[in-house]
Structure 1
Amino acid sequence: MSKLRVGIIGLGVGERHIAGYREHPGCEVSVLCDYDEDKLREVAARYPGIATKTAAEEMLDDSSIDAVSIATYDNFHFEQAARAIRNGKHVFVEKPMCLHEEEARQLRELLSQHPEVVLSSNLVLRMSPRFASLKGMIEAGELGDLFYVEADYNYGRLHKLTEGWRGRLDYYSVVHGGAVHMVDLLLWLTGDTIVEVQAFGNRICSRDAAFRFNDMAVACLRFESGMVGKVTANFGCVMPHFHGLAVYGSRGTFVNERECGRLYQSRDPADAAREIRAEYPGVNKGDLIRSFVDAIQKGTRPVVTADDAFRAMSVCFAIERATRQPGAVEVSYL
């Protein structure tokens, strides 16, 4: 089998994809691309022998490239993913896959026209050893019947909205760019389906800056099973980056803390919680790439499928709509 030839667009986070591809014996990174010539030279110097381009279109149209990683600014993801799919290239795209619901519909249609294309998105919290351990406990019935979940994307990096590229885009969503991780995590952990959301947002923390969109959003969730939940995207919090997670079941409660996870299986305050010492977050930005390449070469199921990415984005689109209108919004899955 010939090696998969890969191109990477966007060398901020995208540089961290290189290690993921290089660890797989079945592929090689053939082209690095970034419109910023200084960034391109800087990164290329660390990886001699790899071709470089400043125009993404050239790489996306290059028939010798089999797969692409898209790690550009969020507003470019849709156009670049669509062009890659039209050209029959497999796509590994940073979150969010796109910014608008109509764009997601178009990507769905393109994938239906090119069933040979594998698309995955970098929803990397599925690879966290601690969350994988929690999923095993849920599936083993240790928490019983789940009835409430909380998932908080506490970003703690407000300056990335007020001073970085996010604040310069025509549109940026903290839900699509942050809460999507927690939405996907809840869908994956519980195996349930979010059917309705109600949400609110504000920009109190960034109100004196040029950033024009919510820096905070909170959504109440109703699941198909009857379970309820809450998810937040909190970019203005004064604390280091952290993924807050609590899962409540009829037999136990899991709470994620920095030092460890804790599994409570008693209501008696004298009974200590079990410490879950699996590493957190314990993930690198390229950890999902092996399963992506295996899906292309072996026909196996990637850890994050295209369906998974569209499900998470469908919930995020509903949350964004709900922040702009009163009442509950039904999730329309794409």
Structure 2
Amino acid sequence: MIKVAVVGCGYWGPNLIRNFYENPSCKVDYCCDMDNSKVEKVLRKYPSIRGTNDFDDLLSSAETDAIAIATPASTHYEMAKKALEAGKHILVEKPLSLTTEESEKLNELAEKKNLILMVGHTFEYNPAVRKLKEILNTTDVGKALYMYSARLNLGVFRDDVNVMWNLAPHDISIFLYLIEEFPIAVSAIGKSFVRNKLEDVVFMYLEFPSGIIAHLHISCLDPSKIRKTTIVCERKMIIYDDLDNEGRIKIYDKGFETTLATDGGIQDYIIRPRAGDIYIPKIDNSEPLRIETEHFIECIEKGEKPLTDGLNGIRVVNVLETAESSLREGGTIKKTQWMKWKF
């Protein structure tokens, strides 16, 4: 049985602990946090788990096979590096690190030591996002033309990263997963309205080799909680709303029809809007994090590469790092090394 430790018992860590604890193929061996009150809260609910404030206890434990890292993004690289050096498989919450160079080093170290490195891009395990990919690949919606997403809320503010590094990994990973392309150009603009130097509102632009363009609106300074993605295709249009429990995906039979008309011997094309039915496909209600954590354990057991492996994490970090460079230069469009990271 795989024994897992979780470091970080604040917002996301308890969700990881719950899912690992309920998985019969593994056992939660340790929970760790610098805040002892958070550790004690976990232990009251799961008294069989060992608790500690010292990350080194997890590294030195001969019984611990894997470590899930759910700490602030600025700590990911050092903690992941130490865990791999200690011979532990790792699941790192997004983003993998704060630089492409650091992410590449982690991936190389995991491969060298033959260990599983998986990144917590949870939406790639979301049944709705997987259904969205199926729709794009197997139905008559046509080729995707452009897409845009909004991930908005009032709070939470992170102390170590801006809203782009905190929230945009979700939408970047969704876009890359859906179209299986790496962007050739990236730009970003944003503002710090609440805190100095850490943007709370960011707008990102991505351009892909096939001609698809994408826009991301990310904010922790908004009156409404919104988690929505729109994809406009050649023949139909799709809206994925992660907060709509009755219809998370809606396919709109909308578009334009072009006909050739002759008037007085002169031919010209007439473009008319077309509107048809709205179709709501059935979506599996399985918890994405349950699917993700089960996949992590299965990859360890079978020695298989995860869906969201180190390369997956590097791609997302590289987009973020390129966007950060654009952000510092007032929105300059940055060309990427897309050939290096292409699918």
TM-score normalized with structure 1 length = 0.88
The residue that corresponds to 1:187 in the other structure is 176
The residue that corresponds to 2:211 in the other structure is 226
Point out the structure with max Rg over C-alpha. 2
Q: Is the 8 A contact 1:125 1:283 kept in 2?
A: no
> RMSD of the alignment, in Å?
2.0
1:277 CA displacement: 4.8
1:276 CA displacement: 3.5
Unaligned runs of 5+ in 2: 256-272
Equivalent in 315, 320, 327 of residue 323 of structure 1 = 327
* AA of the residue aligned to 1:252: K
**Residues 3-42 of structure 1 aligned to structure 2 (within 5 Å):** 3-12=1-10, 13-42=12-41
1:57 CA displacement: 2.1
Q: Is the 8 A contact 1:61 1:84 kept in 2?
A: no
Q: Is the 8 A contact 1:256 1:262 kept in 2?
A: yes
Query: What is the distance in 2 between the residues matched to 1:52 and 1:238?
Result: 38
More strand per residue: 2
The residue that corresponds to 2:268 in the other structure is none
Are 2:260 and 1:256 equivalent residues in the alignment? no
* AA of the residue aligned to 2:146: Y
1:211 CA displacement: 5.0
The residue that corresponds to 1:202 in the other structure is 191
* AA of the residue aligned to 1:329: K
Q: Is the 8 A contact 1:152 1:179 kept in 2?
A: no
Unaligned runs of 5+ in 1: none
Say if 1:239 and 1:78 are closer, same or farther in 2 by CA, change over 3 A. same
Say if 1:284 and 1:256 are closer, same or farther in 2 by CA, change over 3 A. closer
1:217 CA displacement: 1.1
Equivalent in 144, 150, 157 of residue 154 of structure 2 = 157
Q: Is the 8 A contact 1:195 1:222 kept in 2?
A: yes
Are 2:290 and 1:290 equivalent residues in the alignment? no
Task: Report the secondary structure of 1:98's partner residue.
Answer: coil
* AA of the residue aligned to 2:97: C
The residue that corresponds to 2:164 in the other structure is 175
* AA of the residue aligned to 2:300: I
TM-score normalized with structure 2 length = 0.86
1:42 CA displacement: 1.6
Query: What is the distance in 1 between the residues matched to 2:98 and 2:30?
Result: 26
Say if 1:111 and 1:301 are closer, same or farther in 2 by CA, change over 3 A. closer
Query: What is the distance in 2 between the residues matched to 1:150 and 1:214?
Result: 20
Q: Matched residue pairs, number?
A: 316
1:109 CA displacement: 3.3
Are 2:253 and 1:265 equivalent residues in the alignment? yes
Q: Is the 8 A contact 2:126 2:288 kept in 1?
A: no
The residue that corresponds to 1:122 in the other structure is 120
